[in-house]
Amino acid sequence: MAEESLQLYDTTLRDGSQREGMALTVDEKLAVARHLDALGVGFIEGGWPGAVPRDTEFFRRARTELRLRHAQLTAFGATRKAGAVVSADPQVRALLAAGTPVITLVAKSHTGHVERALRTTLAENLAMIGSTVRHLVHAGRRVFLDAEHYFDGHRLNREYALAVVRTAAEAGAEAVVLCDTNGGALPDQVRQTVADTIAATGVPVGIHCHDDTGCAVANTMAAVDAGATHVQGTAHGYGERCGNADLFTLIGNLALKQHRHVVEPAQLARLTATARAITELTGIPPRTAAPYAGASAFTHKAGLHASALRVDPGLYQHVDPDRVGNTMRALVSDMGGRSSVELKARELGYEVTAGSAEVARAAARIKDLESDGYSFESADASFELLLREELAGRVPEPPFQVDSWEVAVAGRPGEVRTEASVSLRVDGVPLTATGHGNGPVNALDRALHQALDPYFPQLARLELVDYRVRVLTGETGSGAATRVLVSYRDGERRWGTVGVDQNTVTASWHALLDAVRYALLDEVCAGRPAESPAPSLAPA
């Protein structure tokens, strides 16, 4: 396909913010805008000044705090009210006051909406569009017109929908963006309607799709195929109801499948990092299966896939993950075999081959342990400990031994106390320590730190960051097995371990021990500095 330039327009900060659960502060909006700018989008729609106070404030601060290198900041708002004088309309004045180089106006293109929602005449709606666009263009702004409900409107009254497009363009709108506002269109309808609109009017058109049929990206691609030259979307497809077209997926598709010039290759390589940074800012759990930028987009679980990937990653990947800044990952589980173990081991830095006896033993143990309830796909550290055992041909000497542990939970109205005690040995030296916490796992974690940190100073940086419990056989009630997954981090690294037992606290203890042992892999006891003898770790 010929290389062709498209306008890339992001509306995360406006339509994306219409998503349930999304409520960015002004600081967060500014930060999202900076990420999108670095990604190379052409336009960033910041919100609706004059209607949403936070958006008015965003544009006020953007004037001094936002230095965009690629994108043009865009303010969004409605045309003047029916019967109003455009220059006196407060919403239109607020749009100009936002001080952006670009303004996007929303207008009705569906006769039913004009008559029933706006409660005005079809002629007055056209006059509202014409006068508002002219007024803003005269004030020196670039103007886009979002034609609301365009696809339904075009089906109901094609001539009127086309009249909206012509009126906006004749008044000076740079492009008219055809909106599938209720998200109900399918790709064929979008393709035909876009083609018909361009053929009938000759006006440059854009596309803005919602995802209510799960087709927002497909509809956008269909519109581009039919000649749309301006593409709207949002980060992660955030947006009203089911969301908008996912801009990250669109960028991947347009750049890598159709070789269209949407962003530079170096910007494309920021796609995954941008997606993750925006997730951090919104706090909305990411869709791991999201194309291109999702954590699972290049993650392989099935053994047969892994066996082909060993030969050539291209055999099960439609593009090279490096192009979008993502990485290939392998998962080990009972659905994998020796190839999955080899891939995961290589990912972790081990030079092993699927044909070796060690790898075969590791693969067999994983299948057995998973049938007992273990799950290794989020527990790389437990996998690595298991792999090391197989490579060494024995259970390596642990850096510390456990003699016993104990947890006590006592309560009375308004107060619950949890205390954990551990008895360990390091280099044969017995240690006991006690930890208090807001629950058994927290108390055990603190007791382990209390006992071990003086001997292994690197453990002091260790932080328990996630804890998940799953009851594996709910129907057997309190006798059910539980699986516990814990995640630790020590600043740079993050790792997960798994424990399984009938007793939740025991399963947690095993997962905690694996996590601490993993932290001490390759470490020898730091020893006690001569000048500071081992502290007494007996409980007070």
Can you tell me the distance from the alpha carbon of 492 to that of 96, in angstroms, rounded to the nearest whole number?
Answer: 47
Among the listed residues 208, 329, 338, 517, the single contact to ligand CC(=O)C(=O)O using CB under 6 A:
208
User: SS3 of 373, please?
Assistant: coil
The CA distances from residue 163 to 77, 109, 126, in Å, are 21, 9, 8
Closest residue to ligand CC(=O)C(=O)O using C-beta atoms: 179
Instruction: Count CB-CB contacts under 10 A for residue 58.
Output: 27
Closest residue to ligand ACO using C-beta atoms: 78
The site partner of 208 among ligand ACO, ligand CC(=O)C(=O)O, none (C-beta below 5 to 8 Å per kind) is ligand CC(=O)C(=O)O
Can you tell me the distance from the alpha carbon of 218 to that of 241, in angstroms, rounded to the nearest whole number?
Answer: 18
In sequence order, the β-bridge partners of residue 480 are none
Does the footprint of ligand ACO cover residue 28 (CB under 6 A)?
A: no
Mark residues 103-142: x for contact with ligand CC(=O)C(=O)O by CB under 6 A, - for none. ---x------------------------------------
Can you tell me the distance from the alpha carbon of 116 to that of 94, in angstroms, rounded to the nearest whole number?
Answer: 26
The set of residues, in sequence order, having a beta carbon less than 8 Å from that of 404 and lying 6+ positions away, is 422, 423
Burial class (CB in 10 A: 0-12, 13-18, 19+), 415: exposed
Does the footprint of ligand ACO cover residue 391 (CB under 6 A)?
A: no
The site partner of 78 among ligand ACO, ligand CC(=O)C(=O)O, none (C-beta below 5 to 8 Å per kind) is ligand ACO
Closest approach of ligand CC(=O)C(=O)O to the CB of residue 76, in Å: 8
Does the footprint of ligand CC(=O)C(=O)O cover residue 152 (CB under 6 A)?
A: no
The site partner of 22 among ligand CC(=O)C(=O)O, ligand ACO, none (C-beta below 5 to 8 Å per kind) is none
The one-letter amino acid code at 336 reads G
Closest approach of ligand CC(=O)C(=O)O to the CB of residue 167, in Å: 17
Nearest Cα residue to 273 out of 329, 328, 330, 322: 322
Does the footprint of ligand CC(=O)C(=O)O cover residue 146 (CB under 6 A)?
A: yes
Nearest Cα residue to 151 out of 220, 49, 249: 220
Q: Between residues 233 and 373, which has the closer beta carbon with respect to ligand CC(=O)C(=O)O?
A: 233
User: SS3 of 74, please?
Assistant: strand
User: SS3 of 83, please?
Assistant: coil
Of 46-54, 58-66, 306-314, 532-540, the window that binds ligand ACO (rule: CB under 6 A) is: 46-54
Among the listed residues 181, 279, 333, 340, the single contact to ligand ACO using CB under 6 A:
181
Mark residues 230-269: x for contact with ligand ACO by CB under 6 A, - for none. ----------x-----------------------------
Query: Strands 463-471, 205-209: parallel, antiparallel or unpaired by DSSP?
Result: unpaired
Among the listed residues 13, 30, 44, 48, the single contact to ligand ACO using CB under 6 A:
48
- Cβ density class 193-213: b for 16+ within 10 Å, e for less: bbbebbeebebbbbbbbbbbb
Can you tell me the distance from the alpha carbon of 488 to that of 412, in angstroms, rounded to the nearest whole number?
Answer: 32
The one-letter amino acid code at 108 reads K
Query: For binding to ligand ACO (CB under 6 A), which residues are involved?
Result: 15, 48, 51-52, 78-79, 81, 106, 108, 117-118, 148, 181, 240
Query: For binding to ligand CC(=O)C(=O)O (CB under 6 A), which residues are involved?
Result: 15, 106, 146, 148, 179, 181, 208, 210
